[in-house]
């Protein structure tokens, strides 16, 4: 199901590191300058992603607990764990409008059911629905 090159920028929790501005700063000087202007230390940019950094995200103190958990258990994704979904994947309203963390469980279920390649292909639409979709009860986020 997974090739090493396909999962490099997909964190075990289902976040796509390739969409992060800290990662995209490698190819876009404007993003780099904007992040530095907002107080991000130049030496942590660009970020290479969760897996290459072994969970040592430059935006948190220490190692990501979710990464450490999945690494200790020997899985590539949280959905492989018998305790999935656990509290580490619980959605939160805090900064939900700007951070993709509430997408984790959906992303993981999609990857598990339909595969990493199909998820990567659908990722722009999934993100569009999350950030710009209009919630219709019973139908989910709708694109106008």
- Quick one: three-class SS letters along the chain? CCCHHHHCCECCCCCEHHHCHHHHCCCCHHHHHHHHHCCCCHHHCCCCCCCCCCCCCCCCCCCCHHHHHHHHHCCCCHHHCCCCCCHHHCCCCCCCCCCHHHHHHHHHHHHHHHCHHHHHHHHHHHHHHHHHCEEECCCEEECC
Note the pLDDT of residue 69: 97
Instruction: Report residues of the chain scoring pLDDT below 50.
Output: 1-2
Report field, pTM of the whole predicted structure over 0.95: no
Q: In degrees rounded to 5, what are phi and psi of residue 142? A: -110, 140
> Residue 94: its pLDDT value, please?
93
In the prediction, which pLDDT does 4 show?
57
Residues near 81 by beta carbon (within 8 Å), at least 6 away in sequence: 69, 70, 73, 75
What is the spatial distance between Cα 140 and Cα 49, in angstroms, rounded to a whole number?
A: 30
> Which residue range is the domain that position 78 belongs to?
4-142
Domains held by the chain: number = 1
pLDDT score for 99: 85
* C-beta neighbour count of 29 within 10 angstroms: 9
């Amino acid at each position: 199901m997974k090739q090493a090159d396909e999962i490099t920028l997909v964190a075990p929790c289902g976040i796509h590191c390739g969409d992060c501005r800290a990662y995209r700063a490698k190819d876009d000087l404007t993003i780099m300058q904007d992040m530095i202007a907002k107080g991000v230390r130049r030496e942590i940019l660009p970020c290479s992603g969760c897996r290459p950094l072994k969970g040592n995200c430059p935006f948190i103190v220490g190692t990501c607990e979710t990464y450490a958990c999945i690494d200790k258990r020997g899985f590539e994704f949280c959905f492989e764990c018998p305790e999935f979904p656990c509290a580490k994947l619980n959605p939160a309203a805090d900064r939900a409008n700007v951070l993709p963390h509430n997408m984790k469980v959906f992303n993981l279920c999609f990857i598990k059911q339909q595969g990493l390649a199909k998820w990567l292909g659908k990722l722009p639409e999934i993100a569009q629905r999350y950030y710009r979709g209009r919630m219709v009860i019973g139908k989910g986020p709708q694109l106008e």
